[in-house]
């Protein structure tokens, strides 16, 4: 009996999420009301609120459902990238950016903008994927440090935050820049990861030649 009720609740929840996804794609964020979602999902408005207490909660549910399991593919994606740490890091950050492509760009942009207005407790649910990404990054960096790829005194927290910033920057570009493709973003991530790994300073052993001053 309990399993039957659980399955029924999950079917109802999925029906609500599918209806809200369809309406959001057709009407946009502002025009998608809770009553419209309830009607489209063929449930009572009260039933809808039993599953999602507010529109913000519904959006969180939609986002987490759409991105569930994205980073479950991280281990395989990193392995497929080969042994080079830069390629592995690029693959992981690119996987994060793929998460936002589950929605059309205009809708993804609206959903992202809406996160700035949600309560802190709701925002933490929105950013669960970010926490997973940073945990994966930190684990990779720690392994590379142990293998001698990085210095023993590498600040793991700062390095993780820096590479996470690369992913967030490119994810936002993917959402807001017309015509930008996932391939473009992947390429940009690769360039920026290489820059992070190599650093900006010239090696101390190879000083830059001084330019000759022109005689007047």
Q: Say if CB 175 and CB 112 are below 8 A apart.
A: yes
- Give tens-digit pLDDT for 164-201: 999 999 999 998 898 899 999 999 999 999 999 988 77
Dihedral (CA of 53, 126, 64, 103) sign:
positive
CATH number of 66-198: 1.10.357.10
Please tell me the pTM assigned to this model: 0.77
- Give tens-digit pLDDT for 23-64: 998 888 888 999 999 999 999 999 999 999 888 888 888 888
Residues of the chain with CATH 1.10.10.60: 2-52
Residues of the chain with CATH 1.10.357.10: 66-198
Q: Give, in words, the CATH class of 2-52.
A: mainly alpha
Spell 114-135 as b/e; 16+ CB within 10 A means b: beeebeeebeebbeebeebbbe
């Amino acid at each position: 009996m309990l399993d039957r009720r659980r399955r029924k609740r999950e079917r109802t929840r999925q029906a609500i999420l599918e209806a809200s996804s369809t309406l959001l794609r057709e009407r946009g964020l502002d025009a998608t009301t809770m009553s419209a979602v309830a009607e489209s999902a063929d449930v009572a408005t009260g039933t809808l609120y039993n599953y999602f207490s507010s529109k913000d909660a519904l959006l969180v549910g939609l986002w987490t459902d759409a991105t569930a399991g994205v980073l479950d593919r991280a281990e395989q994606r990193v392995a497929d990238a080969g042994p080079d740490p830069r390629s592995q890091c690029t693959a992981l950050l690119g996987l994060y950016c793929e998460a936002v492509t589950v929605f059309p760009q205009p809708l993804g942009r609206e959903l992202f903008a809406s996160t700035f207005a949600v309560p802190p407790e709701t925002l933490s649910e929105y950013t669960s994927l970010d926490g997973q990404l940073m945990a994966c990054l930190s684990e990779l960096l720690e392994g590379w440090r142990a293998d001698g790829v990085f210095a023993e005194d590498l600040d793991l927290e700062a390095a993780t935050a820096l590479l996470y910033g690369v992913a967030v920057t490119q994810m936002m570009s993917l959402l807001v820049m017309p015509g930008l493709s996932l391939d473009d973003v992947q390429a940009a991530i690769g360039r920026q990861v290489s820059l992070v790994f190599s650093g900006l300073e010239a090696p101390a052993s190879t000083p830059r030649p001084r330019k000759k001053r022109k005689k007047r």
